[in-house]
Amino acid sequence: MADSALLVASSAGVRVRHSVTVRLTHWLTTISFLALLVSGMEIVVSHPRFYWGETGNVQTAPLFQLPIPSSRDTVPTGYGYVLPDQNGWSRYLHFQAAWLIVFTGLFYVGYGVVSGHFRRNLVPARADLKSGSISRVIAGHLRFGAVSEDEAGSYNVLQRLTYLAVIFVLFPLVVWTGLGMSLAVASAVPLVVTVWGGQQSARTIHFFVSVLLVLFLLVHLLMVYLAGFRKRTKAMITGSLITNME
The predicted-structure confidence for 126-183, as pLDDT tens digits, reads as follows: 776 765 545 555 555 555 555 555 555 567 788 888 999 999 999 999 999 999 998 8
Determine contact, residues 159/14, Cβ cutoff 8 Å: no
pLDDT at position 8, please? 41
Which CA distances in Å does 172 have to 133, 159, 176, 213?
Answer: 27, 19, 6, 12
Residue 6, in any domain of the structure = no
Could you tell me which residues are beta bridge partners of residue 14?
Answer: 242
pLDDT in tens, 207-242: 999 999 999 999 999 988 887 888 888 888 887 765
Determine contact, residues 50/63, Cβ cutoff 8 Å: yes
| Greater model confidence, 70 or 120 | 70
Nearest to 239 by CA among 82, 21, 63, 1: 21
Q: What is the maximum span of the chain, computed from C-alpha positions, in angstroms?
A: 70
Could you tell me which residues are beta bridge partners of residue 86?
Answer: none
pLDDT at position 234, please? 85
| Greater model confidence, 8 or 13 | 13
* Residue 225 backbone phi and psi in degrees, to 5: -65, -45
Q: Could you tell me the residue range of the domain that residue 216 belongs to?
A: 14-73+87-242
Residue 79, in any domain of the structure = no
pLDDT over 70, % of the chain: 79
Residue 38, in any domain of the structure = yes
CA–CA gap between residue 159 and residue 13 (Å, rounded): 25
Domain count, the chain: 1
Residue 1, in any domain of the structure = no
Whether 107 has a pLDDT exceeding 50, the answer reads yes
Q: Cα 119–124–130 angle (5° rounding)?
A: 140
List all residues 6 or more positions away from 140 whose beta carbon is below 8 Å from its beta carbon.
131, 132, 157
Residue 82, in any domain of the structure = no
Residue 113, in any domain of the structure = yes
Residue 170, in any domain of the structure = yes
Read off the pLDDT of each residue in 65-74 and give the average, rounded to a whole number.
Answer: 95
* Residue 78 backbone phi and psi in degrees, to 5: 90, -5
Nearest to 172 by CA among 244, 236, 105: 105
> What's the mean per-residue pLDDT of the chain?
84
pLDDT at position 221, please? 92
- Beta strands 14-16 and 240-242, pairing class: antiparallel
Q: What's the CATH number where 63 sits?
A: 1.20.950.20
pLDDT at position 245, please? 40
Residue 4, in any domain of the structure = no
pLDDT in tens, 179-211: 999 888 899 999 999 999 999 999 999 999 999
pLDDT at position 3, please? 43
